[in-house]
């Protein structure tokens, strides 16, 4: 419910368990009052502290700067007195910056409007508050949108900038959300990493100054993640306060928490201002992406489940989100570039006999692609490799009872390609400079309409050529040399954002034309694992590192905010191709069950003993798949923290059943059996486990003794069913 109290000038958004409250100081300045556990009162304007120095400008104009620099802004602007982190910077026709955004009007309506050209949450059982602020001298208007869903304890925020003046302006910075609060000795929780070690959880006290998460790589990145949370000291999975922001965007981002002079905290999130400048003609508008804001008063676990349910119910659109995904085998680690039709059919036949349901042909099937040195952009079949063409291969695979998937990297172009030789101007490039190569490839200039059309035409022809059920859309390098031979000089700053918008357009067009396609996004592993991609694909490749031990850390950080059903997780060969570690085949299978499940290996080349285990692993995936896709996730223990073992639980929504995954990474000598405490069960119900009966309250409060396991890298699955 959203309401406006005209007497107190207070806007209040209420979900089932939380309230978000905004006030107006002097009837002009939108200020943040409260975000937390649900309150019934709207008489909350006293929390703005406007009855104490420096007072509001109408009462003390001589100290307006002090007011602006201490007021808890709902959307921060700079240049006129607030010296903290700003959300918006605009350069006018006079070459000047500085805004004074004041309240003009508001509207409250049922529903939630789509964001033009951008992914965003959706749903009919929703309400939206739209605040209009204006900088009167320039006519620049800022529309702040806040949406809530009846079934979610989250607030969705987005911003639209309108040029209501007579001259063109340049937007140099436009962030999507701002949260000003009193400091409560918060710690910052963030996700960091690199290639093959994405989304490692990091927690640190917030000191004076700023804590920054960012990407200027043209993607959300391996290194930082567009997520930031402030947590109370000692916050655990089950207790403590959490204020979290997550950006529904797949390009450059900035997320910052700033501890200021008055012991207040400002948290902001949006498009990174570096490499960004957007020209806005009179009457035009710019839509900024959406930020999801979540509050939890029951620790990280409640935050996690809020994000999971929100994304399953209100972000992912694919029909596959609650459906079993086909168990696939990917040709990459099985063969790399060394394959042909005969080898692929042998791989498919052996896989089909084991119960694997789809063959995915990865990189190397097009142009003269026998290494990563060339042919990106030449999306025609290499018939020296695939004799008889793509359709023949796919038909033969289908005849085995298997589906067929294919790898594409549509955003890239190789210098050694027919298309680059014909159109060198199609690559991103800086004038009079030699462009930087990465993985021997350039990035296509997707600000060019003809390039977008060329890329889509290639994708369409590939998908029309055969019965293709799945596409793995990859992006194997970051954006550099951010220059376009197409855009005029005063619009070069739009290039990075235009690239992201073009990717969204391409995937939207593909899914509209091929609605039954299962799309999996990827970027050199997990460099574009973000909520923006989930709007188009129900799953994303989590990391190129498939080692079972490394995956425990990577998947825990990913599971912190993403449903398990979206996490691309496969069983691979050993020694692992990334880290060289050898782990038992059974353990690799258990770890991969906490995701989409599949294989990155050649069944013909692994041991007979391991090969015989594949049908049983697939049976486990079928057995637990619905629970993994739809259930509530609880983190019991963290290998990243204890460096010994990992444990997580999934409980069905009706609490009728639960499954616990326990992975012993290191075996300690002379160690007694471990005890774990389950969560989320029906306290009064009796559950069956290992032919014994346990009260739910007993399992949660007294705990369960686990069977001892001998050796490193061991795993077990524990099942609980209500009697």
Residues that are catalytic: 474, 544
| Environment class of 529 (CB within 10 Å of its CB; exposed 0-12, middle 13-18, buried 19+) | buried
Number of Cβ within a 10 Å radius of residue 506:
20
For residues 155 and 294, what is the distance between their CA atoms, to the nearest angstrom? 7
For residues 334 and 171, what is the distance between their CA atoms, to the nearest angstrom? 48
Tokens 């309230």 found at = 19
Tokens for 694, please give them. 């346990």
Tokens for 105, please give them. 């009007």
Count of residues making up the chain: 723
Tokens for 297, please give them. 């008063």
How far apart, in Å, are the Cα atoms of 532 and each of 367, 370, 509, 535, 599?
31, 32, 16, 6, 26
Contact 48, 40 (CB under 8 A): no
Phi, psi (rounded to 5 degrees) for 556: -65, -45
For residues 641 and 720, what is the distance between their CA atoms, to the nearest angstrom? 26
Tokens for 627, please give them. 């629970």
Cα 1 off chain centre by:
28
Q: Give every CB contact of residue 151 below 8 A, 6+ residues apart in sequence.
A: 16, 125, 309, 313
Can you say whether residue 521 is alpha, beta or left, with left for phi > 0 and alpha for psi between -120 and 50 degrees? beta
Tokens for 128, please give them. 């939206």
Q: Give every CB contact of residue 298 below 8 A, 6+ residues apart in sequence.
A: 238, 239
DSSP sequence for 573-602: -SS-TTT-----HHHHHHHHTSSS-EEES-
Number of Cβ within a 10 Å radius of residue 683:
12
Strands 10-14, 403-408: pairing is unpaired
Integer-rounded Cα radius of gyration of the chain: 27
Helix (H, G, I), strand (E, B) or coil at 501: helix
DSSP state of 441: B
E strand residue ranges, 447-574: 470-473, 518-521, 539-541, 567-568, 571-572
How far apart, in Å, are the Cα atoms of 341 and each of 337, 338, 365, 387, 652?
12, 11, 10, 6, 43
Angle CA 98–101–106, to nearest 5:
160
DSSP sequence for 216-230: -SSSS-SSB-SEEEE
What residues form DSSP beta bridges with 329?
359, 599
Tokens for 316, please give them. 């992912």
Helix (H, G, I), strand (E, B) or coil at 558: helix
């Amino acid at each position: 419910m959203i309401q406006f109290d005209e007497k107190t000038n207070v806007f209040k958004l209420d979900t089932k368990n939380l309230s978000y409250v905004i006030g107006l100081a002097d009837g002009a300045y939108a200020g943040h009052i409260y975000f937390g556990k649900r309150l019934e009162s709207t008489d909350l304007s006293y929390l703005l502290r406007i009855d104490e120095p420096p007072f509001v400008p109408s009462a003390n104009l001589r100290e307006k700067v002090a007011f602006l620099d201490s007021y808890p802004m709902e959307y921060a602007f700079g240049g006129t007195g607030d010296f903290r982190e700003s959300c918006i910077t605009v350069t006018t026709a006079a070459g000047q910056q500085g805004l004074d955004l004041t309240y003009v009007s508001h509207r409250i309506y049922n529903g939630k409007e789509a964001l033009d050209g951008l992914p965003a949450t959706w749903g009919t059982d929703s309400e939206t508050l739209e605040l209009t602020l204006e900088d009167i001298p320039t006519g620049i208007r800022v529309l702040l949108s806040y949406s809530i869903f009846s079934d979610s304890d989250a607030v969705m925020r987005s911003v639209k900038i309108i040029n209501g003046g007579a001259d063109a302006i340049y937007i140099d910075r436009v962030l999507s959300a701002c949260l000003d609060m009193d400091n409560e000795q918060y710690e910052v929780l963030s996700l960091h990493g690199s290639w093959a070690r994405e989304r490692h959880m990091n927690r640190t006290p917030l000191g004076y100054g700023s804590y920054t998460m960012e990407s200027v790589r043209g993607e959300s990145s391996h290194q930082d993640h567009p997520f930031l949370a402030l947590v109370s000291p000692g916050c655990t999975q089950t207790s403590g306060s959490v204020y979290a922001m997550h950006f529904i965007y797949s390009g450059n981002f900035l997320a910052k928490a700033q501890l200021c002079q008055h012991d207040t905290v400002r948290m902001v999130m949006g498009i990174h201002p570096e490499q960004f400048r957007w020209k806005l003609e009179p009457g035009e508008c710019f839509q900024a992406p959406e930020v999801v804001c979540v509050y939890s008063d029951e620790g990280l676990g409640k935050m996690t489940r809020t994000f999971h349910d929100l994304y399953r119910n209100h972000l992912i659109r694919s029909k596959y989100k609650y459906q079993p995904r086909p168990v696939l085998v990917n040709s990459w680690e099985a063969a790399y570039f060394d394959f042909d039709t005969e080898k692929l059919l042998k791989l498919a036949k052996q896989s089909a006999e084991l119960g694997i349901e789809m063959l995915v042909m990865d990189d190397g099937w097009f142009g003269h692609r026998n290494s990563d040195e060339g042919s990106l952009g030449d999306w025609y079949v290499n018939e020296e490799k695939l004799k008889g063409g793509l359709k023949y291969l796919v038909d033969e695979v289908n005849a085995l009872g298997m589906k067929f998937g294919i790898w594409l990297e549509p955003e890239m172009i190789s210098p050694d390609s027919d298309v680059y030789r014909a159109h060198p101007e199609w690559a991103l490039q800086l004038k009079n400079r030699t462009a930087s190569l990465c993985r021997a490839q350039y990035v296509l200039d997707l600000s060019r309409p003809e390039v977008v059309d060329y890329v889509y035409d290639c994708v369409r022809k590939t998908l029309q050529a055969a019965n293709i059920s799945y596409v793995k859309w990859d992006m194997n390098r970051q954006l550099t040399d951010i220059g376009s031979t197409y855009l005029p000089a005063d619009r070069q700053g739009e290039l990075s954002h235009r690239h992201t918008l073009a990717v969204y357009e391409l995937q939207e067009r593909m899914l509209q034309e091929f609605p039954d396609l299962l799309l999996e996004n990827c970027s050199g592993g997990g460099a574009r694992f973000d909520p923006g991609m989930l709007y188009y694909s129900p799953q994303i490749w989590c990391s190129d590192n498939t080692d079972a031990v490394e995956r425990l850390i990577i998947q825990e950080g990913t599971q912190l905010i993403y449903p398990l059903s979206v996490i691309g997780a496969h069983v691979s060969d050993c020694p692992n191709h990334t880290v060289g570690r050898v782990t038992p085949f059974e353990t690799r299978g258990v770890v991969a069950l906490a995701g989409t499940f599949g294989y990155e290996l050649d069944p013909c080349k692994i041991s007979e003993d391991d090969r015989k285990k594949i049908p049983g692993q697939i049976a486990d995936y079928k057995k637990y798949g619905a629970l993994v896709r739809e259930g509530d996730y609880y983190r019991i223990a963290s290998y990243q923290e204890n460096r010994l073992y990992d444990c997580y639980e999934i409980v069905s929504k009706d609490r009728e059943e639960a499954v616990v995954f326990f992975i012993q990474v290191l075996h300690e000598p002379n160690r007694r059996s471990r005890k774990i405490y389950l969560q989320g069960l029906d306290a009064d119900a009796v559950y069956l486990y290992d032919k014994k009966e346990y009260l739910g309250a007993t399992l949660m409060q007294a705990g369960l003794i686990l069977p001892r396991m001998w050796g490193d890298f061991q795993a077990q699955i524990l099942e609980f069913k209500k009697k």
